[in-house]
Amino acid sequence: MAADTTEWKIKTLIQDLKDQYSKTVRNNPDTVAQIESAVRILSFLVAGRFENGEILSELIYSASNLLVFLNDSVFKAASKYVSKVVNVTKEKIKRWLTVLEYTEVFLEMAAKKKWGTKGAWIVITIIQIMKTALRFYVLVKLDGGIGSTPAIQPVDREILKTAEDEHDNLEDAWDEEAAYSAQEKTFTLQSSGRQIRTLQAGKYFNLYILL
């Protein structure tokens, strides 16, 4: 019983952290973009400056890609203009493919450093077999097409933001038009304060009933 309670608390804590992170990303898109750029620039700055600098540089570069991928997922989940996931299995596989594609160079370099050229080729072979198997499964079993590289493309956030702004402006215009129309279709009696439908509005209402 205690183990179940502990597991529930851990899951709740993880979900709270995820929700808080998503909220922070959505509310601070400019800051998020600056952090992503800073991490990517850092990957170029450390190359060749330290022992194993190339591996560290590739690790940071992979991390920057994964950070962008994570934040893109947050923006897509919150957007009304990105189609929601229909096939959960296909989406999960594409996510794994994307992670592999963003980290494979680092894994190859780390394997070469640790086990030499032979070890690097073993890791390369394993990664390519995994990628091929996953893509083949998506193509044949899930009818997902050939796909792209990376499997999930980065989001064009500028286009997404422009679409959302245009939608919000359109909604505001509709609200103003609706309020104006409501005022035009009724008038208030001065003696009783009762609102009466105008003849024009009544005509359209009767026509609606007849149709």
Q: Which sequence spans correspond to the domains of the chain?
A: 7-84, 85-152
- In eight-state DSSP terms, residue 195 is E
Evaluate whether 187 touches 196 at the Cβ level (below 8 Å). yes
**Pair 197, 186: CB distance under 8 Å:** yes
pLDDT at 163 over 50: yes
Whole-structure pTM value: 0.74
When comparing pLDDT for 176 and 157, which is higher?
157
- Band of pLDDT at residue 199, cut at 50, 70 and 90: very low
Task: Tell whether the model's pLDDT for residue 136 goes beyond 60.
Answer: yes
d(CA 180, CA 191): 24
Residue 173 pLDDT > 70: no
Residue 127 CB partners (closer than 8 Å, separation 6+): 100, 104, 107, 108
Neighbours of 155 (CB within 10 A): 18
* Cβ(113)–Cβ(56) below 8 Å: no
pLDDT cut 90: percent of the chain above it:
45
- Kindly report the average pLDDT of the chain as a whole number: 79
Site of tokens 């991390």:
63
